[in-house]
Amino acid sequence: MGMFFLGVLRSGTIEQVRASLSGLDVEIAPVAPFVPEAIGPPSTAPADSVGPRMRSAPDVVRLAIVSAFPSEAWEHAATIAYGESGFNAAAHNTAGEDSRGLFQINVAPAANPDLLAYGDLFDPSVNAYAAYVVWKRQGWAAWRNVAIKSGIGATGPGIP
């Protein structure tokens, strides 16, 4: 039997999922939740990781950033999210690309289509985790224009 990932259970119980799949030859296996490198509320963060942009972010955005990025990246991540979407989780740019959510994660075929596997990129926590993955791959250079305009700098792997 082949294995397929059906998605993340966002509501309901495992029993409801099993009932909806009755008659299909499937097995439901529990999946361990993602545990990022640094989790904690902004109040427990080092003082320099919670700057003016992070403090100005809505609670849902701060929680998403804190849950996805290490504390030393929180302020820069908030700056990127603000510059890319104005903290608008529903932002969607389809002008020559397919960029979604807070961090405008581009999932066009030539960019990061693999990140669609993480789920709904309009969900702030999913988008922030996808942004973390992009950041680990490319550094802040993935958001070059915002990084340069904000003074973060477009640094990353293989970028001087």
Q: How many CA atoms lie within 13 A of 53 on its CB side?
A: 17
Beta-carbon contacts of 153 under 8 Å, excluding residues fewer than 6 positions away, are 140, 147
Give the pLDDT of residue 135. 92
> Which residue range(s) make up the domain with 40?
36-150
Residue 28 lies in a domain: no
In whole angstroms, what is the distance from residue 73 CA to residue 49 CA? 7
Query: Dihedrals φ, ψ of 118, to 5°?
Result: -75, -15
Task: Tell me the whole-structure pTM to 2 decimals.
Answer: 0.66
Residue 77 covered by a domain = yes
- Residue 22 placed within a domain: no
The CATH number for 116's domain is 1.10.530.10
Q: Is residue 19 part of a domain?
A: no
Q: pLDDT digit of tens for each residue in the chain (160 aa)?
A: 333 333 433 334 445 545 555 555 555 554 444 434 443 444 445 545 566 777 778 888 988 998 899 988 898 999 999 999 999 999 999 998 999 999 999 988 888 888 898 899 999 999 999 999 999 988 888 888 888 888 887 665 544 4
Number of domains in the chain: 1
